[in-house]
């Protein structure tokens, strides 16, 4: 079973549009949206949710007012300023609470509960291009890396159960914990970048990450024709970093039209579809 992960150094490079188009070409792979902080692959694929599961991770302090004697020790010890007082009644701000448990440990009345936090939800859905595993992180929730790992694990289970030979992952941008959780153990990474100075810088950071984890990487420059000179510089930098050059995608206004129509680029007459087809052939070579 192969697992391809599409990532980028920053958001807005066209990663999701390209991932959806590759899913169209792949012939019903298992599709996995690991950009749990800002998931948007569902906007193009319109998934029909079959299963919905809670994602719980970490803990959150909750003061029981009937058992609290208002001593204020918890407020004094909380370094995150998450405990507030109103008329000698103390409560915990769930957004500010980091779940360290200091208040729970030192409360003389043992009046603070420490339940597991509900951080979001993950889903198994059906789309016109194949089964899809995706998630939604809660507002101000943490542990996105763990949620990404959960989504990938469920995608692998689904692929094994139904005999799929490819998992196609729309990964998050950047180089942080969610990205590491997305690429670790993948067969190949496709990095999408843009022909700008910041795009080149972000690409170098991402390739440093894939090199560290020894994952084969290929690079695609999206909207290459808005700056051909920078495109050449980026491709040269990619080769020097040990990555392959998968191809270039031209700037095409029809991509926006495809998004509005909730279609992949290859389901329209967009000229850049030929460029994506070329990248698909490179990945399969």
The string of pLDDT tens digits covering residues 201-211 is 999 999 999 99
The string of pLDDT tens digits covering residues 243-264 is 999 999 999 999 999 999 999 9
Distance between CA 157 and CA 181 in Å, rounded? 17
Mean pLDDT over residues 125-141, rounded? Answer: 92
Examine the pLDDT at 144 and tell me if it is beyond 90. no
The band of 140, judged by pLDDT with boundaries at 50, 70 and 90, is confident
pLDDT on residue 45: 96
- Calculate the average pLDDT of the chain: 95
The band of 95, judged by pLDDT with boundaries at 50, 70 and 90, is confident
- In terms of Cα–Cα distance, which of 98, 94, 102, 127 is closest to 26? 127
The two tokens of residue 5 are 């992960």
Mean pLDDT over residues 79-96, rounded? Answer: 93
Distance between CA 178 and CA 192 in Å, rounded? 17
The band of 142, judged by pLDDT with boundaries at 50, 70 and 90, is confident
Q: What share of the chain is helix, strand, coil (3-state, %, to 5)?
A: 35, 30, 35
Distance between CA 262 and CA 258 in Å, rounded? 6
- Report the 10 Å Cβ neighbour count for 247: 20
pLDDT on residue 138: 86
Sign of CA dihedral 139, 143, 145, 148: negative
CB-based burial, 64-75: b 16+ in 10 Å, e otherwise: eeeebeeeeebb
Per DSSP, the residues of 188-238 read EEEEEE-SSHHHHHHHHHHHHHHHHTT--EEEEEETGGG-HHHHHHHHHHH
Mean pLDDT over residues 49-61, rounded? Answer: 94
- In terms of Cα–Cα distance, which of 186, 133, 219 is closest to 1? 186
Q: Mind listing the domains of the chain with CATH numbers?
A: 2-57+120-284 (3.40.50.300), 61-114 (3.30.70.20)
The string of pLDDT tens digits covering residues 173-209 is 999 999 999 999 999 999 999 999 999 999 999 999 9
Examine the pLDDT at 27 and tell me if it is beyond 80. yes
Torsion of CA 175, 194, 36, 60, to 10 degrees: 50
Cβ burial of 61 (10 Å; 0-12, 13-18, 19+) is buried
Q: Is the pTM of this model over 0.95?
A: no
Examine the pLDDT at 87 and tell me if it is beyond 90. no
pLDDT on residue 259: 92
The band of 285, judged by pLDDT with boundaries at 50, 70 and 90, is confident
Distance between CA 62 and CA 193 in Å, rounded? 44
The two tokens of residue 37 are 């902080």
Residue 228 CA neighbour count, 13 Å, CB half: 1
What's the DSSP call for residue 109? T
Three-state SS for 70?
coil
Q: For residue 33, report the phi and psi dihedrals to the nearest 5 degrees.
A: -100, 105
- In terms of Cα–Cα distance, which of 211, 216, 221, 149 is closest to 175? 211
Write the CA distances from 110 to 83, 101, 104, integer angstroms: 16, 12, 7
The band of 99, judged by pLDDT with boundaries at 50, 70 and 90, is very high
Mean pLDDT over residues 8-15, rounded? Answer: 92
pLDDT on residue 20: 96
- Report the 10 Å Cβ neighbour count for 12: 10
Mean pLDDT over residues 169-176, rounded? Answer: 94
């Amino acid at each position: 079973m192969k697992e391809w992960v599409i990532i980028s150094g920053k958001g807005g490079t066209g990663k999701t549009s390209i991932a959806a188009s590759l899913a169209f070409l792949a012939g019903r792979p298992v599709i996995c949206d690991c950009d749990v902080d800002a998931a948007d692959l569902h906007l193009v694929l319109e998934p029909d949710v079959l299963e919905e599961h809670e994602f719980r991770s970490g803990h959150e302090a909750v003061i029981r007012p009937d058992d609290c004697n208002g001593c204020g020790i918890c407020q004094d010890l909380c370094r995150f300023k998450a405990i507030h007082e109103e008329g000698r009644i103390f409560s915990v701000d769930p957004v500010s609470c980091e779940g360290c448990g200091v208040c729970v440990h030192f409360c003389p009345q043992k009046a603070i509960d420490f339940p597991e936090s509900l951080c979001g939800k993950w889903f198994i859905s059906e789309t016109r291009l194949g089964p899809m595993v995706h998630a939604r992180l809660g507002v101000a929730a943490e542990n996105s890396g763990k949620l990404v790992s959960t989504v990938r694990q469920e995608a692998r289970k689904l692929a094994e159960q139904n005999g799929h030979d490819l998992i196609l992952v729309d990964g998050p941008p950047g180089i942080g914990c969610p990205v590491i959780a997305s690429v670790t153990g993948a067969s190949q990474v496709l990095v999408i970048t843009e022909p700008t100075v910041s795009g080149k810088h972000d690409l170098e950071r991402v390739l440093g990450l894939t090199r560290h984890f020894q994952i084969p990487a290929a690079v695609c420059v999206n909207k290459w024709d808005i700056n051909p000179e920078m495109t050449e510089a980026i491709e040269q930098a990619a080769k020097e970093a040990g990555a392959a050059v998968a191809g270039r995608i031209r700037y095409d206004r029809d991509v926006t039209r495809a998004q509005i129509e909730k279609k992949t680029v290859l389901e329209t007459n967009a000229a850049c579809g030929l460029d994506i087809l070329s990248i698909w052939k490179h990945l399969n070579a």
